[in-house]
Structure 1
């Protein structure tokens, strides 16, 4: 048995994929009864047939089986605290990517703080909800400091191949900062700066992410894997990426689409605070933070980045 807490697009997609080989409880704040009757999904992935082994419920079931928490990073603590009794002592796997504002904590640290006796983990990598829900193949990284291999085996599914690691820091930062880089790439595309500019920003954004991750104790090899370079390539290269689309709108001088969670916009400033604390230089993250806050525009950001001192790569 597996539980997925949160029936947004990604939570629903993961529940559908896992239910092809596991019994899965999908915990929804609203719409659970309707989904149970119609056997179809609602919300941002409407009309998908629910596998026979997937059951929408209102309340998180008790037990020792893993719980995947599919809510945005900035709402993770609230979701955990609201289910603390049911989560006690269980593997709790974050599906979100970001850094909590204020505390500057990653998802597993938030889990450990909100539910002290839980067993925190994070699942991350190149993955769009629509692809996963349709049964298209993907590969992800499962990071935990406690029995990552056992949890990997328990959560694997026919179309979701999992790799395990104990490098929680590397996996968390790869997932969080690729969204920041994607906004920068989107701004370049939206401003008509060309594909060469996108590639340059992707590459230098990856360098920034690696510098910060290593400063915080991550293995640089983790950043070259699925949860780092793999996720970065997907998010910076596809129009399905909400973060890329947000950047494109900024680059065009348009108002970004409303009603969607753009983790990179919320993570940019938090990442910059962590970088300053660690003495790590992150000019692209700083530029994205200024763009999102309306403190600069794309021409000003371009001047700032191109005017930086020349140096060896």
Structure 2
């Protein structure tokens, strides 16, 4: 049995996918009306998915935390006694702005006896809910990784296993920042060539910082890094890309939509500065998200950087 905490788009999509083969409980403080999620209005949650707002009764041995990165710390603090000692699988793609901690770091601080994993990679909730095929990274460093891989895999959801938890989490977090920059580029009318250049230099920036923080370069080159970057930096279905597009085009953006990359850019910029790592794209996105710079100023700052070897 799998428990999913969070009935947003991704949590709902996972519930739909996994319920085809096993028992799934989907918990939310506000249950979806008529078994439909506001974020996935065309998706009917199957009857075999148990919906509940009672956290204590919902929990099983394997608990998937389908919660936004900036909400995770508060939720863990509030419910640590219930969650500690279980296998906790995070799907958050971000870095906590207040503590600069990764999702797994937040989990272990609140639940030191938990077994921690992360599920990440190129995946739109709507595609998963429709049963369209994709491949994801399951990062888990303990002896239960193989069993968890089999538990969470489906015919349309192929999971590849790694023990590089740091690399998988950083890939998922950092690619959102670059996706915002790609959206800014298209929204401002700079064209596909500029976007391609941003994605390429952004990937180099991701790898540079992540490896300095202990990640393996091959993890960044896999599904959780490059794979997810390609998806989110090129598709209008990406919330981070759409947010960047709005910034570039000078349009308003729906503030109720979670954009992990905006807060992550601010955290990344501070972390990189402290480590002496150059992250000009993340710095530019952070300045735009905070309203400290205009698109024109940010582009000019990037173009003024010294010429160097690739």
Q: Which category describes the TM-score, using the shorter chain as reference length?
A: over 0.9
Q: Structure 1 residue 28 and structure 2 residue 24: aligned?
A: no
TM-score, scaled to structure 2: 0.96
Change (3 A) 1:183 1:63: closer
- Look up the match of 2:52: 57
Partner Cα separation in structure 2 for residue 69 and residue 92 of structure 1: 7
Partner Cα separation in structure 2 for residue 12 and residue 78 of structure 1: 21
Contact 1:189 1:195 (8 Å CA) reproduced: yes
Contact 1:21 1:158 (8 Å CA) reproduced: no
> CA deviation digits over 1:124-163, x for unaligned, max 9?
0000011111111111101122132222122112221111
Q: Structure 1 residue 155 and structure 2 residue 149: aligned?
A: no
For 1:13-24, what aligned pairs fall within 5 Å after superposition? 13-24=13-24
Contact 2:3 2:27 (8 Å CA) reproduced: yes
Deviates more, 1:40-49 or 1:21-30: 40-49
Unaligned runs of 5+ in 1: none
Deviates more, 1:133-142 or 1:145-154: 145-154
User: What SS does structure 2 have at the residue aligned with 1:56?
Assistant: strand
- Look up the match of 1:4: 4
Q: Structure 1 residue 305 and structure 2 residue 302: aligned?
A: yes
User: What SS does structure 2 have at the residue aligned with 1:140?
Assistant: strand
User: What SS does structure 2 have at the residue aligned with 1:192?
Assistant: coil
> CA deviation digits over 1:239-260, x for unaligned, max 9?
0011111111111112222210
- Runs of 4+ with >4 A deviation: none
Give, in angstroms, the shift of residue 234 of structure 1: 0.2
Partner Cα separation in structure 2 for residue 110 and residue 129 of structure 1: 24
- Look up the match of 2:164: 167
Partner Cα separation in structure 1 for residue 22 and residue 157 of structure 2: 12
Unaligned runs of 5+ in 2: none
- Look up the match of 1:134: 130
Give, in angstroms, the shift of residue 51 of structure 1: 2.8
For 1:222-261, what aligned pairs fall within 5 Å after superposition? 222-261=219-258
- Look up the match of 1:273: 270
User: Structure 2 residue aligned with 1:102, among 93, 98, 105?
Assistant: 98
Q: What is the aligned-residue RMSD (CA, Å)?
A: 1.4
